[in-house]
Amino acid sequence: MTQNEKQIRDLLDGTLPWSQLHQAMSAYKESGRFQTYVRILQERMSWPERILLPLTDRLYIVEKDGHAAVKCDCGHEFGDYRENWKLSALIRVRRSEDELREIYGPFACHPDWMELREFLCPGCGALLEVDAAVPGYPVTFDFLPDLTTFYRDWLHEPAPTWLEGQPAPSSKAWASR
């Protein structure tokens, strides 16, 4: 195992000492780091679908039957990556003073000004994301990557061929979500 690979494994396990973590954050990232990172993640999953891009610390964009889907590490699938996975999650909204106080104690905001939306995986119950939003504000769509450009122009690797025909995400796609 190379030093870089060991560092990535320690990083994922949360065992990298702060001094090394700090150095790693500001250091030049060698080419191939992303591929090593994804290979280590892939080894740890119990499912076979290829990870195209990690989305959060629990969610991944994976190759699935000729399209790209969002998948939890437990195996639950949320559907096409161009759709907002949050809308397929279990959603708990904290909108009363008591519910907000459970999190913020005496420093809770007034529920007329902000609510907390907790998005949980229907498969494993993990808390995947929390949004603080003004009541009535649409559910935010966090990240819509341009996978074709990422593979072709950044990684200089062939993207899955079925991705080539897909239009790049546009500002219009964002606005419609």
Q: Which residues bind Zn ion (CB under 5 A)?
A: 72, 74, 76, 121, 123-124
Nearest approach in angstroms of CB 107 to Zn ion is 31
Structure tokens at 62: 């994976």
Closer to Zn ion by CB, 92 or 152: give it.
92
Nearest approach in angstroms of CB 108 to Zn ion is 29
* Alpha-carbon separation of residue 105 from 99, 100, 116, 118, 131 (angstroms): 10, 8, 14, 17, 18
Nearest approach in angstroms of CB 61 to Zn ion is 15
Closer to Zn ion by CB, 68 or 163: give it.
68
Closer to Zn ion by CB, 24 or 74: give it.
74
Nearest approach in angstroms of CB 56 to Zn ion is 11
Closer to Zn ion by CB, 33 or 76: give it.
76
Closer to Zn ion by CB, 93 or 124: give it.
124
Starting at the earlier edge strand, list the strands of the sheet with 59-64.
51-54, 59-64, 67-72, 77-80
Helix axes 33-44, 3-13, angle to 10 degrees: 50
- Listed as own residue / partner, the contacts of 171-177 with beta carbons closer than 8 Å and 24 or more positions apart are 173/82, 173/144, 174/141, 174/144, 177/84, 177/138, 177/141, 177/144
Nearest approach in angstroms of CB 47 to Zn ion is 11
Dist. CA 57–CA 33, nearest whole Å? 17
Three-state DSSP class for 105?
A: helix
